């Protein structure tokens, strides 16, 4: 075995790794670009097969409503999926392969178009049994950051949660507790950990009913 060559290779590995872009570098790189909404609309066609032509997602626990979400939040989530910092086999396959959004400009364009989409449309809500409990939990623990109507904050990179499908929110809460969403677990783990099933279901149900035009229609969660 040629030890000098092997030693040299080992020493080079950190340098090779450091040359790869990090999630934060990609995030700031996307934000530095000027989005093209017309091109974003074309790119969104690659997303519509799962998220729907109106970005409303699916009334189940798997596919979220993304229309109208804050631009920075969309960018952050796409970049995190791309770098394996958020886990979902479908999204990882789409964005980490770079086939759908191969360039940082593509992410900027698609995210800007999605953020500008109308937010009205049918939502999935819970059964209402723990709605009052959920409202109390939200007021106590969440409203100070996410806003009175769960509108989030663009500049603070805080997601809009109002009107998201209840089933999807419930799954995300449980994923955070169980370690399947590491970043969310780190930021919200201490909040979610002591809550029981009814607490989390009530919180998701409450969020699904606020911050949007409810006259557009609701469906019970499957």
Helical ranges in the chain per DSSP H: 3-18, 23-31, 37-44, 48-51, 71-82, 89-95, 104-115, 131-141, 143-146, 166-178, 182-192, 197-209
Which backbone phi and psi does 218 adopt, to 5 degrees?
-130, 155
Mean pLDDT of 75-98: 79
Of 92 and 7, more confident: 92
Domain 122-222 has CATH 1.10.760.10: yes
165 contacts: CB under 8 Å, gap ≥ 6: 57, 58, 59, 60, 61, 64, 65, 123, 124, 208, 221
Got the DSSP string for 167-219?
A: HHHHHHHHHHHHTSSHHHHHHHHHHHTT--HHHHHHHHHHHHHSSS-GGG-EE
Q: How far is residue 193's CA from residue 178's CA, in Å, rounded to a whole number?
A: 9
* C-alpha closest to that of 31 among 72, 67, 70: 72
Q: Which fold has domain 22-119?
A: Cytochrome Bc1 Complex; Chain D, domain 2 (1.10.760)
Of 85 and 4, more confident: 85
Q: What is the pLDDT of residue 110?
A: 97
* 122-222 matches 22-119 in CATH topology: yes
Q: What is the pLDDT of residue 33?
A: 98
Q: What is the pLDDT of residue 21?
A: 86
* Domain range annotation of the chain: 22-119, 122-222
Decide if pLDDT at 191 tops 70. yes
On average, the pLDDT of the chain sits at 87
């Amino acid at each position: 075995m040629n030890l000098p060559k092997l030693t040299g290779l080992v020493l080079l590995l950190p340098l090779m790794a450091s040359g790869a872009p990090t999630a934060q570098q990609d995030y700031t790189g996307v934000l530095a670009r000027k989005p093209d909404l017309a091109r974003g609309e074309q790119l969104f066609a690659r997303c519509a097969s799962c998220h729907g032509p109106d970005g409303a997602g699916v009334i189940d626990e798997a596919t979220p409503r993304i229309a109208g979400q804050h631009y920075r939040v969309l960018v952050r989530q796409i970049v995190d999926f791309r770098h394996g910092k958020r886990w979902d086999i479908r999204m990882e396959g789409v964005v980490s392969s770079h086939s759908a959004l191969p360039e940082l400009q593509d992410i900027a364009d698609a995210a800007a178009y999605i953020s500008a989409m109308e937010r009205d449309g049918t939502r999935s809500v819970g059964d209402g049994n723990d709605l009052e409990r959920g409202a109390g939990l939200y007021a106590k623990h969440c409203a100070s950051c996410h806003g009175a109507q769960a509108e989030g904050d663009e500049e603070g990179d805080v997601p809009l949660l109002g009107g998201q499908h209840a089933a999807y929110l419930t799954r995300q809460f449980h994923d955070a507790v169980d370690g399947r969403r590491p970043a969310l677990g780190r930021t919200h783990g201490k909040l979610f950990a002591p809550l029981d099933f009814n607490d989390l279901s009530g919180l998701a149900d409450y969020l699904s009913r606020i911050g949007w035009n409810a006259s557009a229609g609701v469906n019970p969660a499957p």
